[in-house]
Chain A
Amino acid sequence: MRFYLQKIAFYVVALWAAVTLNFLIPRLMPGNPVDIMISKMAAAGQPITAGTRHALAIELGGSSGSILQQYGDYIVNLLHGNLGISLTNYPEQVTTVIGQALPWTIALVGLATVISFILGIGLGMLAGWKRGSWLDNLIPVTTMFQAVPYFWLALILVLVLTRVVPIFPFAGGYDVTSTTPGFSLSFIGSAIYYGFLPALTIVISSIGGWMLGMRNMMVSTLSEDYIVTAEAKGLNPRRVRMTYAARNAVLPSLSGFAISLGFVVAGSIVTEQVFSYPGIGQLLFTAVSNDDYALMQGVFLVISLSVLAANLVVDVLYGLIDPRTRARS
């Protein structure tokens, strides 16, 4: 019980720190929304007079009061689920804007992460079981893909698979001309079709790590005494492989998996840039390039929370699965 209380206290502090930093960071940044809006309006040929600055300052509002007061307002708003108004999408609420983008990111990057993990673990298990096999020798090749810049690989795949051999669409989340979002076969099919190539690039570039990790753990586990005992007892090899070896070998990968799930939101930014995918990564990019503090904070908050949540899950699971972590002198 004390273990869990400790952990909970720990996460409360970590959450507070993340939220507070989230508050401070945009406030430390230079630039102000009025200037940026004026330069944008000038570029679009809008009239700029001395009155413009005044009008914009009124319309955009802006931070007032001491920093402590602002911090208080921020925490109160946060507790009410009020993340403020997005400047780039004025006057839309940040929560609405994030709500629109988040499902796409979770569906694409989240699923790709899951697929990559399951495939990687499965193949890694087999490679560790049959050392020196062709599959085992394939591992350095798949690890190679991890050492390649993701966007570079993705862009080359896009070039080949959407232009040279046009099999896949090059941009978007679904075919906007033929279907609308909804629970229809055409939409689901379209979403899968449009998500296939981005998902493929994510899987290709991340599967190597899972394979290698699982393979190495499998190899280590196989030389443990209890495996030898199991084999000596003449148990079915499949049973030894799955129930005795793989189950123990997968533990460290599981913790890695939980953390990588937490980074789904953060990791989506480059993917979505390459594929014009309508998710949260593009949102963050837009927010950063437009000095949209509220939107930036909102996205960071989602990222921080998901990472923290994933960590919490790991800790709790580990406490359950592996008693050694709990008992520390």
Chain B
Amino acid sequence: MSPRSTRRRLGVALVAVAAAATLALSGCSSNSTSTSSSGTTSITMFTGQVGNFTENFNPLNNTGAYLPQTNGAIYEPLFYYNKARAGKPVPLLGTSYSWNSDGTQLTVKVRQGVKWSNGKPETADDVVYSLNLISNNAALNTSGVKWVAKKTADDTVVITFPTTSFTLEPQVLGNEPIVPESIWKKISDPTKVTNTEPVGTGPYMLKSFTPQSYVLEKNPHYWGTGASAPKVDQVRTISLANADAATSALQAGKTDYMGAFLPTLKNIMAKNKNLSYSNSPQATTALFTCENAALGCTGPQTDVAVRQAMYYAMDRTQLDKQAAAGFSAPASPSLVLNTVNKAQITSPKYMEVPQKANVAKAKKLLEADGWKLGSNGYYAKDGQELDLSINVVSGWTDYDTICQLLQGQFKAAGIKLTVNQMAQNAWTQSESTGKFQMSMNSVNMGVSSDPYFQYNNYLSTSATAPVGQPAKSTNTSRYSNPSVDAAIKKLATTNDDSVKQAAYKTIQDQIVKDMPYVPVYVNSALAEYNNTRATGWPTQSNQYAFPLPWGGNWGMGIVLKTIRPVK
């Protein structure tokens, strides 16, 4: 359907609007229940997309403009790394892998008998082609490391790295889609195609597309059998404008699978017995402080006593209740999750941040550092009042609420907090260039639950830049600590658990002392399901995959092939 003919037809269609409205009204309300015809089973997803869909199933695109099911449902990587729980990666197109001792060679056994959705066989050659395609294309290779993949046997691929690269494992094995060589070798620039007829190995394939909705159907050639074969015939995706419409859609049974933060979720669930949800807290919400005066940060937050005082002045119970609607989880001062990363937290003291405010301790910390309580109720030092500003994106309601609540909580500890609500672009810019005092953001997990990624992205000197220049990665606090840098380097070059554990300890001891990011709580990641048409969704206790239907989440494909239709 070309847009042009749609427009003409629409024009004709809607001329009759006034006269036909009542007619259509009665005519349509009768067939508005969308029961699928002729016994096909189907579910509907909402992936957070607003407005029209653009047909793009290019799995290699970094900009994330591909439709979210592309990676996971249509294309698959070699292994799936589940960020929602600890454990070994799940074999997909690979079956097993092993490293050589110095971490420069990764040997992968490739699954045999896999077919593309067009019926042609998928082989180790396709794996080699796909991995090298990414490695050799500067625009696609986000790791910046050039590896070389080679087929050594029909079922074996060896990937060689220039340096020790243990930490690239989840990226190479778990985040690179395998594409058919026969199709992609004809494409001159893989970053600029929209790949409207995707051919992948995943459990689903494209059936039909319109800008308002698209449908995937079961891939008849899928390699999985039994429990790991797709069972629901069709998956439809719709777009809605906002959380309000999403709530309505969920309640009206118009969506079966979506991921949105709905503060009223518990009420909705209580009223609708067929609905269920899962919560996979993953990102640690924190006050990002521009803490490093040596790199150009200015303001009271460059004083470590102030950051420590804020850490103790927070009443996190109230924040959870009123900002996160009770869905958040306690954070760990180590900045990794005390659930999936429990084994990597090196001291019981670092397990959980204090949940109740300890104003006396906060004040003591400040006074020990030379701050004096003024007559207006706020501390001051050298004639400078303890007045901090925090940037927050206006419209991110949970974060806005945290800031409002913190204003009151910090006041009790003699700390003045000014909240700057700003547009997302300006907020991103201020954080990236370091032109902020504090910023409300979250520390996100990397490509797998390995703490290395968080520590490297948020704490290493190589991930930051002086104030005025954009941070090279996400270390926007400008934190720079040689012993942390050394420990991170150690993490990158070893596969030995005891060495890693020692490095974790170094890092955690340092950041708990320095507090560049003041943790608030682990933010909720809610996914909602309707069990009327399909069951087998992830539950709170069984998070077999990270379920949020976002672009780039391979777990969505696992969820889609696991659910089964209700008979």
Contacts and interface: CB of A to CB of B under 8 A. Distances in A.
A and B touch in the complex (CB under 8 A): yes
Interface of A: 29-32, 34-56, 58-60, 86-92, 96-97, 99-104, 106-108, 111, 115, 162-163, 166-167, 169-178, 180-183, 187-193, 195-196, 199, 272-278, 282-283, 285-286, 289, 291
7 contacts: A59-B63, A90-B63, A100-B211, A170-B245, A176-B210, A187-B9, A276-B50
Contacts of B34: 175, 177-178
Nearest to A119: B18
Given A97-B52, A199-B17, A176 B242 contact: no
B83 interface: yes
Contacts of B444: 42-43, 45
Interface stretch (B336-344, B372-380, B420-428): B420-428
A119 to B, nearest CB: 9
Which of A60, A166, A178, A189 counts the most chain B CB atoms within 10 A? A189
The 3 closest A-B pairs by CB, nearest first: A51-B144, A31-B425, A176-B213
A99 B2 CA distance: 10
Interface string B135-175: 00011111111000000000000000000000000010001
Given A181-B9, A183-B12, A193-B28, A99 B3 contact: yes
Nearest to A162: B248
A99 B10 contact: no
B54 A92 contact: yes
Contacts of A108: 14
B63 A87 contact: yes
A36 to B, nearest CB: 5
Interface string B258-291: 0000000000000000000000001100000000
Which of B24, B56, B457, B472 counts the most chain A CB atoms within 10 A? B24
A269 to B, nearest CB: 11
Contacts of B418: none
Contact of B54 (A34, A44, A97): A97
Interface in B511-567: 550-553
Contacts of B428: 31, 35-36, 39
Contacts of B3: 96, 99-100, 103
B302 interface: no
B239 A174 contact: no
A286 B10 CA distance: 24
A272 B51 CA distance: 9
Nearest to A170: B248
Interface stretch (B98-106, B190-198, B220-228, B361-369): B190-198
B39 interface: no
A272 B282 CA distance: 33
Nearest to B49: A286
Contacts of B145: 51
B506 interface: no
Contact of B17 (A34, A42, A115, A274): A115
Contact of A111 (B17, B64, B193, B208): B17
A323 B482 CA distance: 82
A101 B242 CA distance: 18
B493 interface: no
A51 B143 contact: yes
Given A31-B428, A46-B552, A176-B238, 19 more contacts: A41-B62, A41-B64, A43-B444, A44-B552, A45-B447, A47-B447, A48-B457, A53-B473, A90-B65, A91-B56, A96-B54, A99-B4, A167-B29, A188-B20, A191-B10, A192-B24, A195-B14, A196-B24, A285-B50
Nearest to B424: A289
A50 B473 contact: yes
B241 A193 contact: no
A28 B238 CA distance: 35
Which of B4, B65, B551 counts the most chain A CB atoms within 10 A? B65
A111 B14 contact: yes
A162 B54 CA distance: 28
Contacts of A291: 425
Contacts of A52: 62, 142-144, 473
A183 B432 CA distance: 50
A32 B426 CA distance: 10
Nearest to B20: A192
A92 B240 contact: no
Contacts of B144: 49-52, 54-55
A97 B51 CA distance: 11
A93 to B, nearest CB: 10
Which of B11, B20, B210, B470 counts the most chain A CB atoms within 10 A? B210
B1 A182 contact: yes
B68 to A, nearest CB: 10
A171 B247 CA distance: 11
A282 to B, nearest CB: 4
A202 B241 CA distance: 18
Given A45-B446, A276-B240, A285-B50, A189 B141 contact: no
A254 to B, nearest CB: 20
Contact of B27 (A38, A53, A104, A189): A189
A212 to B, nearest CB: 22
B13 A188 contact: yes
A108 B10 CA distance: 10
A91 B65 contact: yes
Contacts of B138: 54-55, 58
Interface string B1-38: 10110110111111111101101110111011010000
Nearest to B211: A100
Given A31-B425, A91-B65, A176 B236 contact: yes
Contacts of A180: 1, 208, 210
Contact of A196 (B25, B62, B447, B453): B25
A272 B213 contact: no
A89 B245 CA distance: 22
B252 interface: yes
B530 to A, nearest CB: 14
B252 A170 contact: yes
B253 to A, nearest CB: 12
Contacts of A59: 62-63, 139-140, 191
Contacts of B58: 91
Contacts of A107: 10-11, 13-14
Interface in B178-207: 191-194
Given A31-B429, A41-B62, A181-B9, A55 B54 contact: no
A190 B141 CA distance: 45
Nearest to B244: A155
Contact of B56 (A43, A89, A104, A166): A89
Nearest to A276: B241
A205 B119 CA distance: 56
Contacts of A273: 241-242
Interface string B440-464: 0010111100000100110000110
Contact of A192 (B21, B240, B550, B553): B21
Contact of A58 (B139, B212, B245, B283): B139
A43 B303 CA distance: 28
A122 to B, nearest CB: 13
Nearest to A29: B425
A115 B64 CA distance: 41
A150 B552 CA distance: 37
Contacts of A45: 83, 282, 444-447, 552-553
A200 to B, nearest CB: 9
Contact of A181 (B6, B21, B171, B240): B6
